[in-house]
Structures are given as structure tokens and as C-alpha cells.
Chains A and B, each alone.
Chain A
């Protein structure tokens, strides 16, 4: 299973309060193929381990948008 897992880093400028952390994490984990989702409030980084065949990067961005935040994929 780890063979297909990819690690994607997203960045958001809009995290203004740590209460949004569990919300975004839960939304990401509810997607198929997402094994791990971690929101780092301090830097605005969102790290996701997922199977791109089941949920691609766009799906991650959309799911975060549904909770009300804009995030963009980032190289590091």
C-alpha cells in the first residue's frame, strides 16, 4: 500500500486560528486513498500522504476549499 502513496505538500495563507486544523485534517482523511493528513498551523503547510490514483492533488485542494480555505500545491 505504501508503494502507491505519494507525499504532497500544500500551502495555505488563510489559516488564522488553530481551530481550523482538525476541520481540514478530517476533511482530507475522509477522501478515499488519503492515509495521513497533517496541518501545520505555524507555517501554513498541509502535508498529505495519499494514493494519487484514488485522490489526486486537485481532489485534495477541492476538499480543503469545501471547508472554506484556499490551498495551493508547493514544491517544498
Chain B
């Protein structure tokens, strides 16, 4: 029992919580005794006890600060509360100390929730890792894994280190790094990141980055640096905070000398606490950058957060950002006298039981043409393909490696057709029935169905020109540009041409954002008002150099970043207005005698909570973004 009390006492947060609770209880007793039973006797001692309980911790902190020659807010409060007891104002003294403690407790709770956007990321990294040492799996702390060691990850586990897959296969959900909810297929040779989630399979990784040297840790520290990078206005408010407390003391003393009203002077000490004003802008910036980080958008500081909302032109450097970045069924080739429908049907039957990413588009396409039976038996050969049985037929679907493995040879027609599809840049899936090749499926990265609405959304947000600056040849670039609604195409461009184009747009008075990969387009990126790196998950250079780094190749994130930027600016202005109105209102109230100590403290603490709560609104996903995502998903299903 005693040790429990001492442990509560030693822990500052729990000590403050219990002192606040007891103080509140004493105040309640006093109020009940007075108003419920008309007892005046217990009023003064109970209220004084409440003031001492709540004031004890405030006094400790005021004293600790004073010893370091720092005039703290706690000192203002404790002087006011002590003064109130001496002029027999027990209620004011108890209320001021209690409300200060209660407010501080609520504020630290809400503030840590505002910071919480990052906590999810920090918590994504597992604490332990299973390492193969001498052929035996050993569980060790994640940050002591040696580089080059083999780490074992089972289905359902989060990856403890950055690494390269050396054996096994799994669908890995990389939402923690990229914000992308669709899992990526990982096979030997793939790069994988700490904090991502293996949804199935089994992976053996060679560790290439551990602890603070992982993509996740770097993203977290970048976001924190961005949140800490102070806008000039914020710096001014902070330095203002440093001479604020002494100024309030001087004001209180001055007011007393002029009015000879001790209560007025003490009330000034209470309402003078710099609360809402000093946190009004930082709380918005923290929430805005945190909200963006959760969506896979890394905004590198308050300044860029501000500029992102003011973009009027967007230059894209490559067609890749406008295409899907995942395979889609582009062509079906029928061989050996089969129909194309049958080829797709056989492939679809085999792939229904598969989790492979190339299987999904095949099944979708087959389902779109009618009901799809399920295979009776299925064998998946990792990295090659699969063999299924249906209606006494053996179906083999996979890459040429599967057919080498099965010993099925290709005739000249098949080889030619494979070469033709490869020439179109397609990934080729071969379909065989009972040992005979019956057809081919060509899978390719198509222009994104969602690219057009995304560009429309950018236009709606006030981006006047979306310009493609690409080194690609004109026909290919123009076909994609037309399909997605890009305003201008500049094809066959060298890096210097891109720079000139950006400068020309700026000369027209446009605020230009440039999307690039951070290396080839360095001059153009540097010249742009805002540089944006896409698909930056894990790429250090992109994260280092860009003003805004998007963890995925999703163009919609640019619109989202603009929306977050604008919402943050509005939020910041609202907070400043709330804070300034509170300070002015309180001062007027005090000098006209309509606000006393307890009321002043209540209003002051409420204004701080309102400012934090207002900032927290930014953490919610706005309605528009939700609708956008739903529409995108729907399009994928339809197309």
C-alpha cells in the first residue's frame, strides 16, 4: 500500500492526476455543505485544503523553475492563489489551482493525441525479430539484428528490419511506408521495409537496415523535423512567450499601484497565462503535417505546407505517374484452334484459387464475361505459376519457367506470339490444357482510370495548367495525355528544356509545382516553387531533396496535399482569432470588473482546449477525400 502511494507520488503525471481528483473532491464537499446543508463552518478549511492539494504540485514546479531563474506560468498561478487565501477568497484560490491542474491534464492528453498521428508509425516497428543463427531461429531485440543476418518473417507478422528477400514469397502490406492499402507481392530479390506487414507466406530476409537506419525511422524523423521547423510567425510567438510572464507580473504590480485593487492584480496574474496564443499555430502545423504523413504525404515543414495550397500549375516529368503501376489484362491470344473466351476461361478457373498479383486481373477479366467455376484441385509452384484440375483436365498457367519445369515445349507459332507481346512491353502468361499450349495472356500497365478524375480535381482546386514534360516520344505521351486530360504535352525534352519550361511558366505568373524523381530533374525541381517526389517509399534521395515526398505514385495525393495545406491555413487563422479574442476579452473583462479569478482561469483553460481540439479536427479524413477513394475503387472494379 505504502509503496503504491510512493510510486504514484514519484510519477509526476499520476501524482498530478490524484492531487487534482482529491482537490476536486474537497471542493465538492465544501459546495455540498454550504448549498445543501447551509453549513458555513467547513467552507474555509475545505477550500483551503483543496487549494493546498492542487497548489502543492504547482508550487513545486514554480520553485524548481525559479531556482533555474525562470519565471514560469506556475509562479503566476501560485502567487495569485496564495494571494487569494490572504484576502479570505478561499473559493477563488481553490478554483484557480484546481482548474489549472485539470486543464493541464486535459491539455496534455489532447496534445498527445494530436501528436498521435506519428505514434501509429512509431508503433509499427516491431520490438523483436526472429533471426537464424547457426541454422536455429533465435528471438532477439529488433535493433540488435546484425546487418547481413537472415531474418525470418511469418504470415501476420510485421517486418522488423529493412532487407532483401532471399527466400520465400508473401503479399506484404506496405501501408505504413507508402499509405498504399493494396499489398505488394514480394519474391526473392525484392526490397522490403521495416514496419510493413506480411499478410501471408513466409519470408527469409537479409537485413540491410536496422533500428534508426530503416526507411520507417527516417520517415519518422523527417516528419518530426518538419513539424519542428518553425515558421517565422511561430518563432516570434515563442520568443514573445519568454518575456510574457515577467511582463504579466509588471502589469499586475502596475495595476495594483494605480487602482489599489489587490483582487484585480491577482486576477491579472491568472488570466495573463500565455495559453491559447502560444500553441495556436504550432498545434495546427503539427496536426496538418501529421495528418498528411498518415496519408503517405511527407510535407517538409510549415513553409511548404503553406505553399502547397497555392499551386496554380503542375508539371509532371514522366508518364509513369499517370499509368496504373500494376498489371491489367491487355490482350488475349488464342492458339491451337481455341477461342479467346475459352483461353481466358481456363486461365480464370486456375487463377481463382491463387493469391498471385498477376492472377487478380485475369480472374477479374474472366468474371466479367460470365460465371467462373472453381478448380477441383490446385497446386501453386512458387515463382513459376500453378497447375489446376477441372472436369478431368489439367490446366497449367504461368511463366515460361513453369513450362520448362513441366517439360512442355513451345511450337514456332507460340514463340512468335510470345515475342510479339514482349515487343509491346507486356508481361506474358502462358495457358496450357492437358500438356498443350492453348493461348497467351498479355498483361500491361495501362493509363490509370483514376488519373482523369484526379486531374479534374486538381483543376477544380485552382490548378490552371497540368503540363507533361517528358523525355518520351510524342505519340505515346500524347495518347496518355489525351486519355487523362493533361493540358499541355512537351515530349522529347532534355533536363535543360524542362528547366526552361518551368521558368517560362513562372514568368507567366504561375506558381509551379514540379513532380519528379529527384535526380534527373534536379534543375527543374530546384527552380519550381514546390518540388514533389513520387513513389518515394524507401528512396532516401527523393525524401531528402523534395519539398513534398509522396510515398506512392498516386497523383491524387497532390490534390490531397493541397487540401490539407488549405485546411491547415484556415485552421491556423481560426486558432489565432480564438486566442486573440480570448486574451482581449479577458483583459477587458478584468478591467471592467466582470471577470474574477475562477472565471478567468476557466475561460483561459477552455480557450486552450478549444484551440487544441480545433487543431485535432485536421487529423480527420475530410469527406471529399473519402468520396475520392471510393470512386477510385469503384472504377477499378468496373474497368
Residues of A near any B CB (own CB < 8 A): 13-19, 21-23, 26-27, 30, 40-45, 65-70, 75-76
A19–chain B nearest beta-carbon distance, Å: 5
**For residue A38, which residue of chain B has the nearest CB?**
B228
Partner of B224, one of A18, A26, A30, A42: A42
* Chain A residues whose CB sits within 8 angstroms of the CB of B70 once the complex forms: 22-23, 26
List 7 A–B pairs whose Cβ atoms lie within 8 Å, in order of A's numbering: A13-B112, A13-B115, A43-B228, A44-B112, A45-B228, A67-B64, A70-B12
How many A-B pairs have beta carbons closer than 8 Å: the answer is 94
* Chain B residues whose CB sits within 8 angstroms of the CB of A65 once the complex forms: 10-12
* Chain B residues whose CB sits within 8 angstroms of the CB of A21 once the complex forms: 238
* Chain B residues whose CB sits within 8 angstroms of the CB of A27 once the complex forms: 64, 68
Q: A76 with B220: in contact, given A43-B115, A68-B57, A70-B13 (CB under 8 Å)?
A: yes
Q: A40 with B228: in contact, given A19-B72, A26-B68 (CB under 8 Å)?
A: yes
* Chain B residues whose CB sits within 8 angstroms of the CB of A17 once the complex forms: 73, 104, 107, 275, 278-279, 608
* Chain A residues whose CB sits within 8 angstroms of the CB of B111 once the complex forms: 15-16
B238-A18 in contact (CB<8A): yes
Residues of B near any A CB (own CB < 8 A): 10-13, 16, 57, 60-61, 64-65, 68-70, 72-73, 104, 107-108, 111-112, 115, 118, 143, 211-212, 217, 220-221, 224, 227-228, 238, 241-242, 245, 274-275, 278-279, 282, 285-286, 608
B228-A67 in contact (CB<8A): no
* Chain B residues whose CB sits within 8 angstroms of the CB of A66 once the complex forms: 64
A75-B211 in contact (CB<8A): yes
B396–chain A nearest beta-carbon distance, Å: 49
B65-A23 in contact (CB<8A): yes
A76-B211 in contact (CB<8A): yes
* Chain B residues whose CB sits within 8 angstroms of the CB of A42 once the complex forms: 115, 224, 227-228, 282, 285-286
Partner of B12, one of A40, A43, A69: A69
- Distance of A75 Cα from B69 Cα, bound (Å): 32
* Chain A residues whose CB sits within 8 angstroms of the CB of B104 once the complex forms: 16-17
* Chain B residues whose CB sits within 8 angstroms of the CB of A14 once the complex forms: 12-13, 108, 112
* Chain B residues whose CB sits within 8 angstroms of the CB of A41 once the complex forms: 228, 282
- Distance of A4 Cα from B286 Cα, bound (Å): 34
**For residue A26, which residue of chain B has the nearest CB?**
B68
B476–chain A nearest beta-carbon distance, Å: 44
B65-A15 in contact (CB<8A): no
- Distance of A37 Cα from B275 Cα, bound (Å): 24
B605–chain A nearest beta-carbon distance, Å: 11
Q: A68 with B61: in contact, given A42-B285, A45-B224 (CB under 8 Å)?
A: yes
* Chain A residues whose CB sits within 8 angstroms of the CB of B11 once the complex forms: 65, 70
* Chain A residues whose CB sits within 8 angstroms of the CB of B61 once the complex forms: 23, 67-68
* Chain A residues whose CB sits within 8 angstroms of the CB of B10 once the complex forms: 65
A13-B228 in contact (CB<8A): no
A6–chain B nearest beta-carbon distance, Å: 14
Most interface-central of B57, B64, B118, B282 (chain A CB within 10 A): B64
Given A18-B278, A45-B224; 18 other pairs, CB 8 A cutoff: A14-B112, A15-B111, A17-B279, A18-B238, A18-B241, A23-B68, A26-B69, A27-B64, A42-B282, A43-B227, A44-B112, A65-B10, A68-B16, A70-B13, A75-B143, A76-B211, A76-B212, A76-B217
- Distance of A9 Cα from B325 Cα, bound (Å): 39
- Distance of A56 Cα from B271 Cα, bound (Å): 40
* Chain A residues whose CB sits within 8 angstroms of the CB of B278 once the complex forms: 17-19
Partner of B118, one of A22, A26, A43: A43
- Distance of A68 Cα from B220 Cα, bound (Å): 27
- Distance of A62 Cα from B609 Cα, bound (Å): 29
- Distance of A70 Cα from B17 Cα, bound (Å): 13
**For residue B10, which residue of chain A has the nearest CB?**
A65
A16-B107 in contact (CB<8A): yes
Q: A67 with B13: in contact, given A22-B70, A44-B112 (CB under 8 Å)?
A: no
**For residue A30, which residue of chain B has the nearest CB?**
B68
- Distance of A9 Cα from B555 Cα, bound (Å): 36
* Chain A residues whose CB sits within 8 angstroms of the CB of B285 once the complex forms: 42
- Distance of A75 Cα from B123 Cα, bound (Å): 12
* Chain A residues whose CB sits within 8 angstroms of the CB of B608 once the complex forms: 17
- Distance of A37 Cα from B264 Cα, bound (Å): 39
A73–chain B nearest beta-carbon distance, Å: 12
- Distance of A70 Cα from B245 Cα, bound (Å): 24
**For residue A69, which residue of chain B has the nearest CB?**
B12
A9–chain B nearest beta-carbon distance, Å: 9
- Distance of A66 Cα from B274 Cα, bound (Å): 22
B281–chain A nearest beta-carbon distance, Å: 11
* Chain A residues whose CB sits within 8 angstroms of the CB of B282 once the complex forms: 18, 41-42
- Distance of A22 Cα from B71 Cα, bound (Å): 10
* Chain A residues whose CB sits within 8 angstroms of the CB of B60 once the complex forms: 68
B530–chain A nearest beta-carbon distance, Å: 21
Report the 6 A-B pairs with minimum CB-CB distance, sorted nearest first. Answer: A16-B107, A42-B227, A43-B224, A26-B68, A16-B108, A13-B112
Partner of B108, one of A15, A30, A45: A15
B571–chain A nearest beta-carbon distance, Å: 15
- Distance of A2 Cα from B464 Cα, bound (Å): 54
